[in-house]
Amino acid sequence: MRELAIAIGLIHIAAAIALLNGLLTTFGQARVASQAIESIARQPEAADSIRSIMFIGLALSETSGIYGLLIAIIMLFANPLVDLLVKLLN
Q: Are 32 and 82 spatial neighbours (Cβ–Cβ below 8 Å)?
A: no
CATH number at residue 73: 1.20.20.10
Instruction: Give the separation between CA 10 and CA 17, rounded to whole angstroms.
Output: 11
Picking from 5, 14, 6, the residue whose alpha carbon sits closest to that of residue 76 is 14
pLDDT digits (tens, 9 = 90+) for 27-46: 989 999 999 999 999 999 99
Per-residue pLDDT band for 17 (boundaries 50, 70, 90) equals: very high
Span 37-70, pLDDT tens digits: 999 999 999 999 999 999 999 998 899 889 999 9
- Range of the structural domain that residue 11 is part of: 2-89
Contact 33/58 with Cβ under 8 angstroms? yes
Total domains in the fold of the chain? 1
Q: Secondary structure of the chain: what % helix, strand, coil (to 5)? A: 95, 0, 5
